[in-house]
Amino acid sequence: MIRKIIFYILIIFGMSNCGYSPILLDTNSRNFSIIDFEIEGNEKINNIIENKLKKYLNSNDEKKYKVKINTGYQKISAAKDTTGNVTNFKLTITLNSNFVDLSAKEAGKIKTISFSESTVINKSQNNYEQNTYEKFVIKNMSELLANKLITYLSRN
C-alpha cells in the first residue's frame, strides 16, 4: 500500500515538472505593436477584432505595423429538404488584411494576408435560438480570425 502511494506521488511530481507550456500563451513572441489600423466591413465582427487588437496599439515594441482590415460575412443555404425548405446554413467569415511593416528593411511595402473561417449549422425552428446560436458562432469565428492575424503578425 505504501509503495503505491509513493509511486503515485512520484508520478504527480514528475508530471508537474515536465516543462509543458502552451505555445499560444507565450507572450514573449508577441513583440509587435500596431501604430494605426482601419477596419471596414461587418460591424459586429469588426468590434470583436478591434477589441482583440487594442492591446497591441501604440506599445513600444520593435516591430511596428500599420494595418487595414476588411471583413465579410456570408450566410447561405447549405442543404434543403424535399419540400425546398432550408435545413442547414453555411456561415463564412473572411478577413482580408493589408499591412505595412514600418520597422523592416522594406519599410513601406504593402503585404496582404487573407483568412477565412466557415461552418455549417442546422436551422432551428425557434428563431430566437437560431439568432443566439449564430451570434455565438460568429463571435467564436471572429476571435479565431483575430488570433490568426495576431499570430501571423508576431511571427512575420
Number of domains in the chain: 1
Q: Is residue 24, in this structure, part of any structural domain at all?
A: no
16 within a domain of the structure (yes/no): no
Q: What are phi and psi of 95, to 5 degrees?
A: -130, 115
Q: Which of 75, 73, 59, 72 is nearest to 150 (CA)?
A: 59
CATH number for position 128: 3.30.160.150
78 burial class (0-12, 13-18, 19+ CB within 10 angstroms)?
middle
- Residue 82, domain member (yes or no): yes
The DSSP code sequence of 16-85 is HTS----STT-GGG--EEEEEEEEES-HHHHHHHHHHHGGGBT---SEEEEEEEEEEEEEEEEEE-TTS-
Q: Is residue 15 part of a domain?
A: no
Top pLDDT among 16 and 3 is at 3
For the segment 104-149, what is each residue's pLDDT rounded down to a tens digit?
A: 666 678 889 999 999 999 988 888 999 999 999 999 999 999 999 9
Q: Give the model's pLDDT for residue 23.
A: 55
* pLDDT tens per residue, range 38-81: 999 989 999 999 999 888 887 777 788 889 999 999 999 989 88
Residue 23 lies in a domain: no
In a domain, 17, yes or no: no
